[in-house]
Amino acid sequence: MRKRALLVVFLILVSLVFTSCGTLFTKGGSDYRNGVSAYEKKEYVSSLRYLNQALAVNPEFVEAAQLFPVVFSEGTSYYKTEIANNAAKQDRQAADIVYHAYTQLQALHEVAKASGGSGLMVEDFTSKLDEARLKSGDLWFSYAQSLEEKGDRESLKKAVAAYETARSRNPNLENIDATITQLIKDATVTVAVAAYGNSDTSFSSKVLADVTRVLGSDRFIEVIQEEDFTPGPDSMVGPLDIALMTGMGRGWDYVLDVYASTSFEEISKETPVRLPSDAALFSGIKRTIGYQNKTYISYRLFSIKQGVKVVAEDRITTIDGPYEYDFSYVNAEGVRELNLGGTGKKNLRFVTSRADDITTNTTISALRMDYERIPIPAQVVDPTDQTQWIAYFKDQYYDFQDFARNESGRELFYAIEVVHHEPSDTYFMIGPDLDTAIQRSKINSAIMNALSYTARTLADAEKEDAKSGIRNAGEIAANAVKDLF
């Protein structure tokens, strides 16, 4: 018998699925399909409303008309069964089930009555609904009183919620609003915030605002709105001492002590290297510019109602970085007056190579390429003018990390036009001809100086931004302690 009943239910569901698919282009089909979905989830009132909407726009909708009485009858039976199973019980959960069931029954029958559907046994549950509502309210009120009698803070908080439920069932309960207001006051704790550190003067107000936002979402926590406990110039005590003494004098419950500081370390160093790095020949210098920032945040929650006691604390240290931009260069050994290739005497800066000529020439090419591959943009009219390059890089980069990621690691001859090949006492020009070598030396120097300037400028800007790393100190502290209240 059970297998047969399951088969019938299965066939009905299959029928509904195929019928729904066949209503995709039927007027009112969307409401009908929503009605079927709600019916399958036993949401009878929603289902009947959707079916009613489908029939309102399409009175000839056969499938909706057929399903309408099925939903009405099944829903009525379902809610009446819930009432029968719980009406005799004298506890608030059962009373709520009965109240909810009557609410749904009333809504279900009102939809049926409004639809004008014939043949449906429509009833009015108004008096039964009111009776169930009042019974539920009375039981919630009694439960709230039992919680209030316990007197501890957690019970008082639960009592407030229970009284509010009772009030939602019966707004006419005597003195209910005053009772709830007083209980909220009795269950509320007060928290003062003492915030300080090596940040700007707005730090304490920012911490207070964040703590208020986080803890203030709990109606049983009052954050005292005193932004600053900064001592006067002649004071012998600090902000925390002032907050604790003030709190004890005014009967506050807690003081949240928040301290934050940043330590910004600039990086500027030079390291001896051999260049180029993959075929070392010349003595050079690796120049590194950058920074790292250390952020320190600590908090302590003091209970001060009955003597000062730390109930929660933590210390958080984070290091951001190091972030570094670097380049390596071969510096000139000196200047010689030379007449190369009949070009006339010129003062040329040089560096010496003692390797064979092939190695020397290959190494020169390697050290030329990094900077000669940098395209000269249209806005740099004179590529030997470092101010134009500075303006260009300023437009290209807004943060140090992006700059360092794209510009680090280059190697070059800095302010050198020729390489003295000592074994043969000859000179290699760093370019196809001497004029190009001289021009290229000026361009490379302008680019390198502009990049160095840009690196320092962006790092200095990061120093100002680093202070924002402690701006979330109040939020961190408040989230850490909010479950302790």
Q: What is the DSSP letter of 379?
A: T
Low-confidence ranges of the chain (pLDDT < 50): 1-15, 17-18, 21
What is the spatial distance between Cα 466 and Cα 320, in angstroms, rounded to a whole number? 9
pTM (2 d.p.):
0.68
* Strands of 309-331's sheet in order across: 221-223, 189-197, 254-275, 282-303, 309-331, 410-414
Scan for tokens 């390429």, then name that residue. 369
What residue spans of 336-482 are helical by DSSP H? Answer: 357-372, 386-396, 400-407, 434-465, 473-481
Residue 431 C-beta-side C-alpha neighbours within 13 Å: 18
| Contact (CB, 8 A) for 32 and 26 | yes
What is the spatial distance between Cα 95 and Cα 98, in angstroms, rounded to a whole number? 5
Residue 153 class from Cβ within 10 Å (0-12 exposed, 13-18 middle, 19+ buried)? middle
What is the spatial distance between Cα 266 and Cα 22, in angstroms, rounded to a whole number? 72
What is the spatial distance between Cα 29 and Cα 60, in angstroms, rounded to a whole number? 12
Model pLDDT, residue 24: 60
Residue 90, token pair as written in the block: 């004298």
Scan for tokens 């007449």, then name that residue. 339
Model pLDDT, residue 199: 64
User: Cβ–Cβ contacts within 10 Å for residue 238, how many?
Assistant: 14
What is the spatial distance between Cα 419 and Cα 428, in angstroms, rounded to a whole number? 5
Scan for tokens 């590194």, then name that residue. 288
Model pLDDT, residue 22: 57
Model pLDDT, residue 6: 44
Q: How does strand 189-197 pair with strand 334-339?
A: unpaired
| Orientation of helix 153-169 relative to helix 126-150, angle to 10° | 170
Model pLDDT, residue 167: 97
Q: Which residues pair with 289 in a beta bridge?
A: 268, 325
User: Cβ–Cβ contacts within 10 Å for residue 291, how many?
Assistant: 22
Model pLDDT, residue 2: 43
